[in-house]
């Protein structure tokens, strides 16, 4: 490898040594070779195609990062314009898909609706059931374009509001906010601070090596399954509370704590191995240092709440800040290298934006679709 740890080829161990390797969680096993994302968990480093995640979050927009992940380099001005035009062109979904939504009960979780709707796209693109190499790029663009539309439709259906069509005059993030919050009788005006924050969140969640959902997409893709089916499996894996559902769990935890005065009580509960309570938003399977994405989101969270006039009176933020400060000084957490992760502040930002908690993981799926498609494309091109 040009960067990262060296590897040992164990593909013939079972044939030559008459035994198998056992590595639960693939903590010491590389399932593939990839040039998309690099992580050094001990140093808190995350890079996409060689670019540091903090630089991308501060200097790029989401579709620039999408282009980078899929094509391997940042786009020129002309390439960017062509790419964004194609994404906008494909953002509309087939009108018949609306009928699928009507089959769900009103209390359905948006992730359940999203899972079914994305899988059903294969019915509208039968030519991709036997896809060719020439289809890779168009398929990636279609997926990136349609997932936000389906996500917004899932939200609208769950709250009983009419679907809002995409507006091609808006950029990617603005368009999603428009589809989420506009109504037939009310135009939604995008707040630039909110737009910037959501853009950063999408970038920070775009890819993260061979995690559970990405590995699931690759495994499904290895059978030659159509890309819509593959992305559906990724959504299913992401739905798990140990993966994409963690930011929703953080909000529930902060609400349970209720007040800063109860933080010591819950810190003690977290240390008690016999207590089922877990401190959500701390620790990471990969990072043994501060999650670099959490560093960006902490400041972004403050920017959003300041813009909305909630910086000094948001109880969840106050609990989160004090909880983080106490945990970072506590030997129990220091010894176990339990630092805040990307989920710790993202839920607070979503909640301040007015996004329902059931939609948190859906937004994660919008962002991660870019990584899934880049990984799917790389797998088929190898």
Annotated catalytic residues are 284, 343
Cα distance between residue 257 and residue 265, in whole Å: 9
Token pair for 205 = 């969640």
Question: Which residue has 């870019």 as its token pair?
Answer: 370
Among the listed residues 122, 174, 169, the one whose alpha carbon sits nearest the alpha carbon of residue 148: 174
Residue 142 CB contacts under 8 Å (≥ 6 apart), including other chains: 90, 125
| Exposure string over 114-142, b if 16+ CB within 10 A, otherwise e | bbbbbbbbbeebeebeebeeebbeebbbb
Gyration radius of the chain's alpha carbons: 21
Which strands sit side by side in the sheet containing 51-52, from one edge to the other? 37-40, 45-48, 51-52
Cα atoms in the Cβ-side hemisphere of radius 13 Å centred on 354: 12
Cα distance between residue 297 and residue 255, in whole Å: 20
Strand, helix or coil for residue 38: strand
Asked if 28 and 16 count as a contact pair (C-beta separation under 8 A), the reply is no
Strand, helix or coil for residue 356: coil
CA distances from 180 to 131, 150, 177, 195 (A): 32, 10, 5, 13
């Amino acid at each position: 490898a040009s960067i990262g740890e060296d590897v040992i080829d164990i593909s013939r161990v079972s044939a030559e040594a008459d035994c198998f390797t056992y590595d639960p969680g693939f903590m010491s096993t590389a399932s593939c070779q990839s040039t998309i994302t690099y992580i050094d968990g001990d140093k808190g480093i995350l890079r996409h195609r060689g670019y540091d995640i903090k630089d991308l979050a501060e200097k790029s927009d989401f579709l620039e990062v999408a282009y980078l992940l899929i094509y391997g380099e940042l786009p020129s001005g002309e390439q960017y314009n062509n790419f964004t035009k194609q994404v906008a062109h494909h953002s509309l979904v087939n009108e018949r898909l609306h009928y699928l939504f009507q089959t769900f009960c009103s209390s359905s979780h948006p992730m359940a609706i999203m899972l079914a709707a994305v899988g059903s796209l294969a019915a509208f693109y039968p030519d991709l059931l036997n896809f060719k190499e020439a289809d890779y790029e168009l398929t990636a663009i279609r997926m990136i374009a349609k997932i936000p539309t389906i996500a917004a439709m899932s939200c609208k259906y769950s709250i009983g509001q009419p679907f809002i069509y995409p507006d091609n005059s808006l950029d990617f993030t603005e368009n999603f906010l428009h589809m989420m919050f506009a109504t037939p009788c009310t135009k939604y005006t995008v707040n630039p601070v909110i737009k910037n924050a959501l853009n950063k969140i999408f970038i920070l969640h775009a890819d993260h090596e061979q995690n559970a959902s990405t590995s699931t997409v690759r495994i499904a893709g290895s059978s030659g399954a159509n890309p819509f089916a593959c992305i559906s499996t990724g959504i299913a894996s992401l739905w798990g509370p140990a993966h994409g559902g963690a930011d929703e769990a953080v909000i529930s935890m902060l609400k349970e704590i209720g007040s800063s005065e109860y933080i010591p009580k819950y810190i003690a509960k977290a240390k008690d191995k016999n207590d089922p309570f877990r401190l959500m938003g701390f620790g990471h399977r990969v990072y043994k240092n501060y999650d670099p994405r959490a560093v960006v989101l902490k400041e972004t969270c403050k920017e959003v709440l300041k813009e909305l006039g909630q910086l000094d009176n948001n109880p969840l933020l106050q609990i989160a800040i004090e909880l983080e400060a106490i945990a970072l000084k506590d030997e129990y957490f220091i010894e176990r290298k339990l630092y805040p992760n990307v989920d710790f502040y993202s839920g607070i930002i979503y909640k301040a934006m007015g996004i329902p908690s059931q939609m948190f993981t859906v937004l994660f799926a919008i962002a991660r679709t870019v990584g899934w498609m880049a990984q799917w494309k790389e797998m088929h091109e190898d």
